[in-house]
Amino acid sequence: MTRFRLTVEYDGRPFMGWQRQAHGPSVQQTIESAVFAITGETAIVQGAGRTDAGVHALAMPAHVDIAKPITPFRLGEAINARVRPAPIAILACEAVADDWHARFSCVRRRYEYCIVNRRGPLALETGRAWRVPQPLDAGAMQAAAQALVGRHDFTTFRSAHCQADSPVRTLDRLDVMREGERITIAAEARSFLHHQVRSIAGCLALVGLGKWRADDLAAALEARNRTRLGLNAPPDGLYFVGAEY
């Protein structure tokens, strides 16, 4: 039995999320079906994260255990051939130690949320970014964001359906950067709550619009109450961008 590490890129629009679902296609199921077609083995593909419906990934680490003798190069190429035309790509494939785990060995995950701040509609990035037509003050968003960095109870920014045992998380980094009409919100932590990054992005947008002040964001965090959430951003602009081990 060999454990293979996969680096996966995908467009989340056609999927119900990473994790296998009974009510629609998932990235996990699509890759597992490809592995079965290649090896005849029913294998579970474990990912570093569990992205929601419509959320994308630039480099999602995953692993799969396969008994059939096969080289990493052949496995990666074969999966890419079998998943077509689904928008999934195996960017890298390598053999790893049996105790390496895509999820539990991970020490930091990185997400980015992309906002396109312009009046005109999205011709090329529909479903891949959140268009906000009103002017956003990225500097105000960056300043307000720093109140969320560190160890906090993020109940306000947690989905009501979140299954995590605790709402307490340590946010290592939260930065807002503008380049032209594009605003990127970069977040890093060991782990995130369900909808945490989208909820933060939505509330930072309220700050950028002038509807909230930095104090309002800090008060929402302190309230530890989901009803105090100002706005949950759509999944379109969210990307899993990488992980550290």
Active-site annotation, residues: 52
Distance CA 83, CA 9 (A): 12
Cβ within 8 Å of residue 81, ≥6 positions away: none
Residue 29, φ and ψ in degrees, nearest 5: -65, -40
> What's the distance, CA 108 to chain centroid?
12
Query: What is d(CA 141, CA 202) in angstroms, rounded to the nearest whole number?
Result: 11
Identity of the amino acid at 22: A
Dihedral sign for Cα atoms in the order 203, 150, 55, 144: positive
Half-sphere exposure of 104 (CA within 13 A, CB side): 4
C-alpha to C-alpha distance for 233 and 205, rounded to whole angstroms: 9
Place of tokens 């039995």: 1
Across the strands, what pairs with 239? 56, 112
CA atoms of 83 and 197, how far apart (whole Å): 29
d(CA 189, CA 169): 8
Question: Nearest CA to 240 among 126, 129, 112?
Answer: 112
